[in-house]
Chain A
Amino acid sequence: MSALLTVADVHIAYGKVEAVRGVSLDVAENEIVTIIGANGAGKTTLLNAIMGVLPLRGRTTFAGVDMAPLDIEDRVATGLSLVPEHRELFGTMNVEDNLELGAFRIAKATAARSLERVYTLFPRLKERRKQLAGTLSGGEQQMLAMGRALMGAPKLLMLDEPSLGLAPIIVADIFRIVGELRAAGVSVLLVEQNAQAALQIADRAYVMELGEFVLSGPASEIAANKGVAASYLGFQHEGESAI
């Protein structure tokens, strides 16, 4: 499989403090890749920099295009999409307007088809389509943020902590939909603190600690790794130390 997104030796700094140091990763077409790690490891920073929200040093290529000269708006046009941690919805506009704006760069006919698809994935959004986005529950807002991103027909969807602060039943729903995206031809780069759920649906995983990748490989291997289990899955194998 050819790599859709390639990130090579990327450094990201806030002033003099380097939050991400020398990170490389790739995501292939039709692949679900997850980055797991503790709070503050630099996962969100990395996603934001790939999207162009933060400046980075290093090389990022998406669908064969060098991302360096492109700003956020141009990266969206190449098929890269980010669902940010804080969702960044248009709170005073209704659900349908939010979704329509997600297809801002898409032709009208294609947008109408995308809307149907999003409503099929998230029937709840169809029920609430005239409601203001700011009045939705947390889970519905997360669905709307994902739906809005999907309206732009992305090739790669980057999800930043989609399960954060949501009830377990809704988390299960969201993860089920992430799994369904692959069938629709969308690759996913998923950042999660809920490592267990993330490793279950992902093909491959990277483990991030203090701004660096300390481990990577097929998700099943990572899940079986005893150090990872101890640090992120909440149980310790006897007689083993962390990584």
Chain B
Amino acid sequence: MNTTIMLFLLQDGITNGAIYALLGLALVLVFAVTRVILIPQGEFVTYGALSYAMLATGQVPGTVRLAVAMGLVAFALDLFFARKALHARLVMRSVALNIAFPVALLGLVYALVGPNTPIAVNIALALLIVAAIGLFLYRIAFQPIAHTSVLVLLIASVGCHLALQGLGLVFFGAEGLRAPALSSAAVTAGPLRFTGQSLAVYALTVGFIVGLWLFFGYTKTGKALRATAVNRLGARLVGIRTTLSGQIAFLLASVIGAISGILIVPITTLYYDTGFLIGLKGFIAAIIGGLVSYPLTAVAAIVVGIVEAFSSFYASNFKEVIVFTLILPVLVLRSLAAPQVEEEKD
């Protein structure tokens, strides 16, 4: 192998690794705040990517109708759980968030959709659609069982993944889609050519890592999210709405997922079920980071990307095997290093 090939592989690995880093960060974030291992993260990727791809061809993606339907269910749940103490402010808030928001989004999509819609508008619409789905997914599937064990939450998470993947097949069909690139600009450095797309990937990843670090370390809302993760009852006793914390975490995770999808879909063809595998690689990074460390997760994600690039060059049949095997030594080391702890009951 010569240096040029090695550089190409490294570049490829780092680009993919940056995407995995974004997804890994979202997983760590959601787990820290809600204790949910977010298996449907991959669906946020696919929904974001394919909604964007459909909007780019001038079609209305089915995901926006799903957002409206989920909003209705979320509204019904809000009414049901507050049935003993309904007051006007609560109902108004619920109508605004669960009905007015997705319906307005539906109207916006129908009004703006077309073959000549600017790329930026399509991206904004795709992000809003997935953000709404992420928000309602927490309200419907996880908020009612927020106090249960990690295992119960994981099972619910797997259920959500299967349901969303099935719906993805309905909305996008079995054929893959591709979308136009964000920019056609490119920079050449020696033998390497950096496309505007891959530069956007790097910039967004670094931006998100710095942004999350500032958010959690220095803002009141960020600290409140951390507090919720550390001690739920303690957080409620100082007046932090833990349901709101969960919603914010899911909102961030779904937007991060959708951004990752929109970044990948001009590079590779995505199918309705591709997201799962991509999300799983983010998950490996998150596990290597112990589901708590953001910087470790980001570094691990880059390693996963590079290993994947090299193994697809040398032994492409075993690419996935090699990548997923990475997790084994980490798990062994972690189980040796960490003392055995019983999972807390609440």
Residues of A within 8 A of B (CB): 51, 53, 68-70, 72-73, 76-77, 81-82, 84, 87-93, 97, 100-102, 104-105, 148-149, 151-152
Kindly identify, within residues 214 to 238 of chain B, every residue whose CB is under 8 Å from any CB belonging to chain A. Answer: 220, 223-224, 226-227, 230-231, 233-238
Residues in A neighbouring B93, C-beta threshold 8 A: none
Q: Which residue of A lies closest to B242 (CB)?
A: A73
- How far does the alpha carbon of A101 sit from the alpha carbon of B219 in the complex, in Å? 11
The answer for the CA separation of A102 and B241 in the assembled complex, in Å, is 13
- Sample (26) of A-B pairs whose CB atoms are under 8 Å apart: A51-B237, A69-B85, A69-B87, A72-B236, A72-B237, A73-B241, A76-B237, A81-B237, A84-B233, A88-B234, A89-B231, A90-B235, A92-B226, A93-B230, A97-B223, A101-B223, A101-B227, A101-B235, A101-B238, A104-B239, A104-B240, A105-B239, A149-B238, A151-B238, A152-B238, A152-B239
Give A105 to B237 CA distance when docked, in angstroms.
Answer: 11
What CA separation (Å) do A68 and B224 show in the bound complex? 26
**What residues on A are CB-neighbors of B234 within 8 Å?**
87-90
B218 to chain A, nearest CB (A): 10
Task: Give A208 to B85 CA distance when docked, in angstroms.
Answer: 31
Q: Please, which residues of chain A bring their CB within 8 A of the CB of B226?
A: 90, 92-93
Q: 6 smallest A-B Cβ distances: which pairs?
A: A69-B85, A88-B234, A76-B239, A105-B239, A72-B236, A90-B230
Q: Is B345 an interface residue (CB 8 A)?
A: no
Q: CA–CA, A100 to B231, complex, Å? A: 15
Q: Which residue of B lies closest to A76 (CB)?
A: B239
Q: Which residues of A contact B237 (CB under 8 A)?
A: 51, 72, 76, 81-82, 84, 88, 149
Q: How far apart sit A151 and B235, CA to CA, in the bound complex (Å)?
A: 14
> A149 CA to B237 CA in the complex, in Å?
8
In terms of DSSP, what is the predominant structure of the interface of chain B?
helix
* Interface residues in chain B, defined as those with a beta carbon under 8 Å from any beta carbon in chain A: 84-85, 87, 220, 223-224, 226-227, 230-231, 233-241
Report yes or no: B227 in contact with A90, Cβ–Cβ below 8 A: yes
CA distance A92 to B292 in the complex (A): 12
Q: Are A76 and B233 in contact (CB under 8 A)?
A: no
Complex Cα distance, B226 from A149, in Å, reads 18
In the complex, the answer to whether A90 meets B85 with C-beta atoms within 8 Å is no
The smallest C-beta distance from B229 to any residue of chain A, in angstroms, reads 9
The CA of A70 and the CA of B84, in the complex, are separated in Å by: 11
Q: Which residues of A contact B230 (CB under 8 A)?
A: 90-93
B147 to chain A, nearest CB (A): 12
Which residues of B lie under 8 Å from residue A105 when comparing CB positions? 238-239
Complex-state Cα separation, A87 to B231, whole angstroms: 10
User: In the bound complex, do residue A93 and residue B227 qualify as a contact, i.e. CB atoms below 8 Å apart?
Assistant: yes
- Measured in the bound complex, the distance between the Cα atoms of B233 and A91 in whole Å is 13
Contact across chains for A148 and B238 when beta carbons are under 8 A apart: yes
Q: What is the bound-complex CA distance between A151 and B233, given in angstroms?
A: 17
Closest to A103 in B: B238
Known: A101-B240, A104-B239, A104-B240. A91 touches B223 (CB 8 A): no
| Complex contacts, A87 vs chain B, CB 8 Å | 234
Q: Indicate whether A104 sits within 8 Å of B233 (C-beta atoms), given known contacts A69-B84, A93-B223, A97-B223.
A: no
CA distance A93 to B226 in the complex (A): 9
Closest to A51 in B: B237
B35 to chain A minimum Cβ distance, whole angstroms, is 15
- The smallest C-beta distance from A144 to any residue of chain B, in angstroms, reads 11
